[in-house]
Structure formats: structure tokens, C-alpha cells
A and B are shown apart, each in its own frame.
Chain A
Amino acid sequence: MKKLRIDKKLLDKMCDLAKLDHDPGEEESLLKDFGEIMAMIETISNVDFPMKDERMIFHQVINQFSSTKKYECDSEQIIEKFPHKRDDQLLSPPVSGNNDE
């Protein structure tokens, strides 16, 4: 896991985003506190539980026309495999067998 170095540059950037200023005299202690808080927070990266690939979680779809068929793929593959398309546009599924669409 990538960790950011808590330094003056980062502190100034965060202050800017949070619309806050800090007293230059307090900078050192603020940096120290901020660093300690972030170090404590980042200990949850030690928790050992499976982190599935995000794409697998968010793009896992079930084919509505065949409940046994499950796609596990990324968004591009979903578009590619989408059952009803016209000119690269995805179409909503037909509501009856007579629907040409």
C-alpha cells in the first residue's frame, strides 16, 4: 500500500483543500500530530482479509435471460457481451418474444 509522507508541502495542500490556515509557529507540532494520527489510522492496512478486485465486485452481472450464466468481466467485456446492441449502443432487453428490439 502506498503511503504519503506527511510533510509541510502535504500539510499546506490539505489546509488549502480544507480551507484552513495554520499558524507558522504551530506548524511543527501540527505536522507531528498529523503524522501520528495518519500512522494510527493506517494500521488498518494490517488487517488480513481478502480484498477482491474492485472490477470483479462492481461488474459482476447475471444474464437476465439465462440465470445460470454469470459474467465475471470488466466493463469493456460486458459491453462486448451485451445481448442486445445496435450500432454499438446497448439496448434494453425485449419485453416479449415479438419485440424486434
Chain B
Amino acid sequence: MMNRITFDGIKEKSFKSISKHINENIKKNNSKFNILIEKFNYDKNPNGGLLENVPITIKDNIFYKNHIASCASNILKNYRAPYSAYVVEKLLGEGAFIVGRTNMDEFAMGSSTEYSIYGPTKNPIDPKFVAGGSSGGAAASIITGIASIALGSDTGGSIRQPAAFCGAVGYKPTYGVFSRRGLVAFSSSLDQIGIIGNNVGDIAKSAAVMNGKDPHDLSSYLDRELKHLAEYDFDSYEGERKIIGVIHDFSDTPISKEIENSYKKLISELNKMNYEVVSIFPPFLEYSLPLYHILANAEAASNLSRYDGLKYGLSNNEGNYFERVKKARTEGFGREVKRRILAGTLITSEGYDIDLYKKAQKLRVLLKKNYDVLFSTVNFVLMPTTPTSPFKLGEKINDPIAMYNNDAFTTIANIIGSCAISLPLGTTSGGLPIGFQLMAAPKEDAELLKFSYKLMKDLG
């Protein structure tokens, strides 16, 4: 099952042999773990290039022209993308090919891929456990050897958390590194397309291809340092001495003992290897979750108001306009999406405590300033990716707060718009993967990737 596909020697292999390998892995794993929602009829990409023969999967909320992009929701069940996402065009332009679309939590709202109309994706290491979410299908497609690179989206940890739960590498870039054109909007100020892969080198090469200034997304920008990683020799990276900020006090965070111990063991390893490690208190970490949910839900309520059963997807002909819209939305959205829309509607309603939303916006600015100061002192912040190891299927599905707590360490990077990467940190005593997260200042993506490569090499 674990015969993964890395970039090593992939150009020299025949497309036929890669395709055969993928098909065997799909046959062996897909029905067992529910990874791909749809396998595409792919062929060798005639465009040669940096990513020749590289198989990729795309999350069900990323557009690939004329293919369904349903966001794992009833409301968009048969919706076909009218154009390809900017990043998809970039990857196809360099010779990659798309194997299929992967399972996810509906509209990327969730941490276990259980809120999908297609059913949950199971953890490929142990199918009794969740694969994480919302990009659970993407992470599982890497581990099961269905793709070399999986595109996902990360609004509050949806790339990094499933990567950690499945034992993969998950990279959430700085806001704007990848154009969001062709990504279905959940929370526009927090959403970013990200990459899950087998190793840092593969991810860096793909990121170099995907980055660019897209005239259709004014928040996107060209990162020349990142572009250089396309041909970069990572083994040559020495780098000046980097300072890593670590947390010693988890009293305000709901972290499991097992994760805390693994994290502390990692810190002592780093000390032994002469890395420069300093103790920090990440500012307002304990408030990042409520802050995230105010911003994300308010934006989600607004973004998802476009699904009225008239312009997109699910529609009906019953009753007047209002009745039709209400019926389409009621039947089209799942329970978690409805919960978040209702919360977002309340937060932005006249009559509700308006100070809360204003306070959240101010806190976001304050947080950003605090992290700017922090990143002028340390180069990276090292945290566990998740507060717990993978949990059992169904364990948290009826407890939204317990589900949200999975994002305790990941939302902060989205709130301040910085880059972060989840790297594998071995397994629990039960053999389930766990991960740790490195976060860097905004626009330090190239340095983060180079350093992560070195760190993984040093950690063996």
C-alpha cells in the first residue's frame, strides 16, 4: 500500500508504468479508504517541463475546466467548472497530469472529512481513524501512492492537519503566493491553496511552478525567491544560524500528553543537534480559535449566500422565489455548513453585539503586529500541528467544539497570513502518524522550505 510516488526519477519512467502503478493503487485503496470522488480519464500531458509525468490530485473545491467541482456538497453536486484554476493551469503547463478529485469536508468546513456527502475518508494507516480534514482525501492520495502532489485548500489548517494525521508533508503558503482564482471561496481573507506531498523537495518544486502574479487575483504576487526553488539544490543549503521559537507552557491549550511529550522530545533533539532554540509565548494563541471562527463564519455566511439554487447547482421549481431559495439551501447544505452560516449570520446581524466583530478585526491587526515583532526575534516558530493524534471515526462528529479544537495551532498562520508547513514527527504508541509545524513570517516561504528540508534531513 505504501509504494508512494516521489519526483525521484519520475521523468525517466514511462507514462504507461506510472499510470499502471496509479491504477493498481486506486484499485487497492480507493474503495477501502474513500479517497477519490472521481477518477479522471487522464492521458500523458504533451507539455514537457519541470513536472513531466507528475501525477497530481485536486481537492473537490478547485476548478479543472469541464470537470465537476462539487465541494462535497449537495448544492454543487453536478456543478462543472467553467475554467481551470490558475494553479492547475500552471501545473498542466509544466507537464503534470491530473488523476482525479479528492474527498473533503463540505465547503472545506471540518477537520475529519466526515462532513462530506460522499462519506468520510478513512486514515490509510488505520481505517478505524479519520484522515483529518478538510483535505483528508488529498492527504490519503499521497500516502496510498495515487499521486505525487495533492492540491488542497487551507483556511484554518485544512492542509496541515490531514498531512499530520496521515504522515505526509503539508505546506500552507503565505497569503497571495498562490492565486485563489478557481478556488471556491469559503473565507476569502483566510483561504489559501496549499500542497500535500511526500517530501519538502517535491513540494518546493511544485510551489515554484504554481507561484505567480495572476491578474485575476490582485492578492497574488510573484515570489522570486520561491521561483528559484524550481532548480535549487537543497542539499547545498547551509543557511546562517536560524533561531527557532518553541513553546514550553501549554497550560492554555487543550493538548494531549502524548503530543506534548513528542514535541518536547523533538526540542531536545534539536538542542542536541545544536539548533538555536529559544522559548517563546506565541501571542494570543489561546484566542486564535474564537477569533478565527468569528472571521471565517462571517465571511462564509456572505460567500455562501450566492448558492440560491438559481445561479448554481441544486434547483427546484416549487413555490415563489423565497421558497425556492430556502428549499435549495436547506436541502443543499449539510449540518456543519448550516451551523457556520447561522453563526456568521448572527455575528454580522444588526442587533447583535457589533463590538464582537469589530473587536475581532482589531485583534487580528494586533496579532499581526505582535507576530511581526516575534518574527524580528526568531526565524521560525515550532509548534505541534495538532493538539491530539488522529481520532476515531464518529468520535467528534456530534461535538463541533471538540472538532474545532483540532485547529488550535494552525489557525494563527491563516489569521496573520504567514506561511507554515507540517512535517512528520513519527507515530504514537498505537502507530498513528503525528506532525509538527514550522511557521515563518509572511513572504519567507523559500527560507521556510529550505530550512524544513534541512531539518528533515538532520532528523533522519
Interface residues of A (CB under 8 A from B): 1-4, 10-11, 14-15, 17-22, 26, 29-30, 33-34, 36-38, 40-47, 49, 51, 54
Main secondary structure of the interface of A (DSSP, over half): helix
What 1/0 flags go to B387-431 for Cβ under 8 Å of A? 000000000001011001000000000000000000000000000
Q: How far is the CA of A49 from the CA of B345 in the complex (A)?
A: 26
A2 adjacent to B353 (CB under 8 Å): yes
Given contacts A4-B353, A14-B345, A36-B401, contact A21 B326 (CB under 8 A): yes
Report yes or no: A17 in contact with B356, Cβ–Cβ below 8 A. no
Q: Which residues of chain A are within 8 angstroms of B362 by Cβ–Cβ distance?
A: 49, 51
Residue pair A30, B339 in contact (C-beta under 8 Å): yes
Residues of chain B with a CB closer than 8 A to A47's CB: 284, 287, 359, 363
B341 close to A45 (CB less than 8 A):
no
B404/A40 in contact, CB under 8 A: yes
Residues of A contacting B349 with CB < 8 Å? Answer: 14, 17
Q: Does B289 contact A (CB under 8 A)?
A: yes
CA distance A4 to B343 in the complex (A): 12
Can you identify 14 A-B contacts, CB atoms within 8 angstroms? A4-B351, A4-B353, A20-B326, A20-B338, A20-B342, A26-B335, A33-B339, A36-B400, A44-B287, A44-B294, A44-B356, A44-B360, A45-B359, A51-B355
B290, A43: Cβ atoms closer than 8 Å = yes
Q: Is the CB of A34 within 8 A of B339?
A: yes
Q: How far is the CA of A38 from the CA of B345 in the complex (A)?
A: 12
- CB pair A34–B363 under 8 Å, yes or no, is no
Docked Cα-Cα span, A14 to B329, in Å, equals 14
A92: shortest Cβ distance to chain B, in Å? 31
Min CB gap A32→B, angstroms: 10
Q: Are B294 and A41 in contact (CB under 8 A)?
A: yes
- Additional A-B contact list (18), CB under 8 Å, known A18-B338, A41-B347: A4-B353, A11-B342, A14-B349, A18-B329, A18-B345, A20-B342, A26-B335, A37-B339, A38-B346, A41-B293, A41-B294, A42-B290, A42-B356, A44-B359, A44-B360, A47-B284, A49-B366, A51-B355
Q: Contact: A43 with B293, CB < 8 Å?
A: no
B359 touches A40 (CB 8 A): no
List the A side residues contacting B363 at CB < 8 Å: 44, 47, 49
- Contact of A1 with B355 at beta-carbon distance under 8 Å, contacts A14-B342, A34-B339, A47-B284 already known: yes
- Selected from A14, A15, A41, the residue in CB contact (under 8 A) with B356 is A41
Q: A31 → chain B, closest Cβ, in Å?
A: 10
| B268 CB–A CB distance under 8 Å | no
B414 to chain A, nearest CB (A): 16
CB neighbours of A18 from chain B (8 A): 301, 305, 329, 338, 341-342, 345
A49 to B342, CA, bound (A): 28
Q: In the assembled complex, how far is the CB of residue A75 from the closest CB belonging to chain B, in whole angstroms?
A: 18
| Cβ A37 vs Cβ B353 within 8 A | no
Q: Is the CB of A17 within 8 A of B345?
A: yes
CB-CB under 8 A from B404, the residues of chain A are 40
Q: Which of B148-181 contact A (CB under 8 A)?
A: none
Least CB distance from B333 to A in Å reads 7
Nearest CB on A from B334, distance (A) = 12
Please give, as numbers and ranges, the residues of chain B lying within 8 Å of A26 by CB-CB distance.
Answer: 335
Partner of B293, one of A10, A30, A37, A45: A37
A34 touches B342 (CB 8 A): yes
User: Which residue on B lies nearest to A15, using beta carbons?
Assistant: B342
**B326 proximity list for chain A (CB < 8 A):** 19-21
- How far apart sit A38 and B356, CA to CA, in the bound complex (Å)? 11
Q: Which residues of A contact B219 (CB under 8 A)?
A: none
Query: Which residues 347-376 in B have Cβ within 8 Å of A in the complex?
Result: 347, 349, 351-353, 355-356, 358-360, 362-363, 366
Interface centre among B326, B339, B346, B360 (most CB of A within 10 A): B346
Residue of B nearest to A30 (CB): B339
A17 (CB) vs chain B CBs: closest residue: B345
Are A41 and B341 in contact (CB-based, < 8 A)? Answer: no
Expressed in whole angstroms, the Cα–Cα distance for A14 and B338 within the complex equals 11
CB distance from B167 to the nearest CB of A (A): 30
A44 to B341, CA, bound (A): 20
Bound CA–CA A54/B341 (angstroms)? 28
Residue of B nearest to A51 (CB): B359
- Tell me the smallest distance from the CB of B377 to a CB of chain A, in Å: 21
Contact partners of B209 in chain A: CB under 8 A:
none
A-B pairs with the 6 shortest C-beta distances? A21-B330, A18-B345, A44-B290, A14-B342, A41-B290, A43-B290
Q: Which residue of A lies closest to B326 (CB)?
A: A19
Q: Which residues of the partner chain B approach A29 to less than 8 Å between Cβ atoms?
A: 398
Query: Given A20-B326, A36-B401: A44 and B291 within 8 A (CB)?
Result: yes
Q: Which A residue sits closest to B402, measured CB to CB?
A: A36
Inter-chain contact A34/B360, CB cutoff 8 Å = no
A10 CA / B342 CA spacing, docked (Å):
10
Is B445 an interface position by the 8 A CB rule?
no
Measured in the bound complex, the distance between the Cα atoms of B359 and A54 in whole Å is 11
